[in-house]
Amino acid sequence: MPAPAGDSASAPPLLEVRNLSVSFPMSRGLFGPKRVLQAVRGISFTVGRGRTLGLVGESGSGKTTAAMAAIRLVTPSDGQVLLEGRDLMALDERAMRAERRHLAVIFQDPYSSLNPRNRVGAIVREPLDLMGIGSPGERESRVRELFRLVGLRPDQMALFPHQFSGGQRQRIAIARALATNPALIVCDEPVSALDVAIQAQILNLLRRLQDDLGLSYLFISHDLGVVQHVCHEVAVMYLGQVVEMAERRRLFSAPAHPYTRALLESAPSLDRRKSAGYRRKAAVKGDPPSPLAIPSGCAFAGRCPQAQPRCRTEEPEPTARDGHLVRCHFPVG
């Protein structure tokens, strides 16, 4: 599968996230101290028009929470989100409902994201019904068009989800996401529940739809092989923070953060491992700290093979050079 074309962006971003934070107050015992889970900690990123930004990291890194907060499916505790210049955080519920037609989500598991009691035609039509878009006849025509667009037959609209394979169900989920003609689609691990052969088909479909419709994707994944082939830019998250962000080719060929390097070393299918001069290094070891008790200094210091005393006492600030951002006291390169 070829890499995405057009690895440069000059137009104003479609989505701009500034210093976004998400915290969840946790229950406590009768005399216990108040605790707060810091799921996302002051992250910033942009998604260009017709481009894909990948959010990657281990489970619990905050990537899904960050994406859902960016489209207000999770309530942020701080920060600003601009969609085509409009501040989503400043909108009341009624105004935000109107913005929903410009946003969509493709969830991870096509087996649980589709209502088993509804026919798939009604499932795809549901966003149009909820937002009152078009007449009943226009909605029916739109659903037929969407089925053709994702490689399904319109005569399958009367079937139920259980009558489809996993890949077909994800095509139905993609059709539903496209129903309102959104500008931005959050893809939350959209192929991780599928067989490898089917994964390639769905990824190719997403790429084709992006090229044909000018879609922008916020693509969440733990699979760096997938990210390498579908994303234009990549943001690496660790314990609620973006620790490195760069254009795809630069991040995969010259990672600067020790955590990013460790993730790449643990992904055996990446092309970079076939390059001349490649030397295998130790993958990341141990477990990340709890988001309920984030340590002082660099949160990665306890697992970092090159940590120094400064790393355990002083939190690194993000620095950027030539569009390559890294949050580390001692970046590589």
User: Please, how many CA atoms are within 13 Å of residue 278, restricted to the half-sphere of its CB?
Assistant: 14
Q: Please check the confidence at residue 172 and state whether its pLDDT lies above 50.
A: yes
Residue type, 39: A
Q: Could you state, in order of their start, the residue ranges of all structural domains in the chain?
A: 15-239
Judge whether 252 and 264 are in contact, CB under 8 Å. Answer: yes
Q: Please check the confidence at residue 273 and state whether its pLDDT lies above 50.
A: no
Judge whether 19 and 80 are in contact, CB under 8 Å. Answer: yes
Taking only the tens place, the pLDDT of each residue in 291-321 is: 998 999 999 999 998 899 999 999 999 999 8
Residue 319: how many other CB atoms lie within 10 Å: 13
Q: Please check the confidence at residue 221 and state whether its pLDDT lies above 90.
A: yes
Q: What is the mean pLDDT of the chain?
A: 91
The CATH topology of domain 15-239 is Rossmann fold (3.40.50)
3-class secondary-structure state, position 21? strand
